[in-house]
Chain A
Amino acid sequence: EADIYQTPRYLVIGTGKKITLECSQTMGHDKMYWYQQDPGMELHLIHYSYGVNSTEKGDLSSESTVSRIRTEHFPLTLESARPSHTSQYLCASSESYKAGEYNEQFFGPGTRLTVL
């Protein structure tokens, strides 16, 4: 079944730790995205990718980094986690742009990160 997966679902870690949030999709989508979602706030785009070896920063400044070595995989890394990084992180993917259509972004279940 085509889907988008995120691991771990929940993560509680101490300040200063390096973490990687995993995101994989089996739909063969070229475009992938990372969003940050805080309670009562809108989703903010922090990173996106057009395809393999393509990564761009989104609207919201983030200390995280991403990589896209394989089409299906788009991990997000925090080199040194801080309490300000506590948030929900959502991964999404979509097909390449087609004029006149909305290319639906499919979202994963999210990773809820808590940094103590």
Chain B
Amino acid sequence: QKEVEQDPGPLSVPEGAIVSLNCTYSNSAFQYFMWYRQYSRKGPELLMYTYSSGNKEDGRFTAQVDKSSKYISLFIRDSQPSDSATYLCAMKSTGFQKLVFGTGTRLLVSP
């Protein structure tokens, strides 16, 4: 069983929709939860991260962590065609920075 599970998609939505991206995990030691965005033929770039449980908001993006359910989410409000990319969740425990990634969800936002 993989430590981190993520639906690969693709997820297709119209412009303006609210998008929900999710990951589940099995390792209760994970404390840091990250969302990376990767455009085609580019490296991943960090969108936001959350430490432990709770919510974090940054503009149109909201990250949620529910450690009791081992479930994390990224919400995108008012989605734009420029949001079309692959979204990777990543997690780590404290200490050395070994990240464990999900497979990524490909998001397509149509005008």
Contact surface of A with B, Cβ cutoff 8 Å: 4, 31, 40-43, 45, 59, 90, 92, 94, 97, 99-100, 102-110, 112
Other-chain contact of A107, B44, B95, B96, B98 (Cβ < 8 Å): B44
The listed residue (A4, A40, A45) touching B99 by CB distance below 8 A is A45
Q: Please state if B99 and A105 are interface contacts (CB–CB under 8 Å).
A: yes
Interface residues of B, Cβ cutoff 8 Å to A? 2, 4, 6, 8, 32, 34, 36, 41-46, 49, 51, 88, 92, 94-104
The answer to whether B103 and A109 have CB atoms under 8 Å apart is no
In the complex, the answer to whether B43 meets A97 with C-beta atoms within 8 Å is: no
Residues from chain B with Cβ under 8 Å of A105 in the complex: 46, 97, 99
Query: How far apart are the CA atoms of A92 and B79 in the complex, in Å?
Result: 28
Question: Given that A102-B49, A103-B97 are contacting pairs, would A110 and B42 also be in contact in the complex, using a CB cutoff of 8 Å?
Answer: yes
Instruction: Please measure, in the bound complex, the distance between the C-alpha atom of A1 and the C-alpha atom of B45, giving whole angstroms.
Output: 16
19 further A-B contacts with Cβ under 8 Å, apart from A31-B97, A108-B43, are: A41-B103, A42-B4, A42-B88, A42-B103, A90-B43, A92-B43, A99-B94, A102-B51, A103-B97, A104-B49, A105-B46, A105-B97, A105-B99, A106-B46, A107-B44, A109-B41, A110-B42, A110-B43, A112-B41
Residue of A nearest to B34 (CB): A102
Contact A107 to B103, CB < 8 A, known contacts A31-B97, A45-B98: no
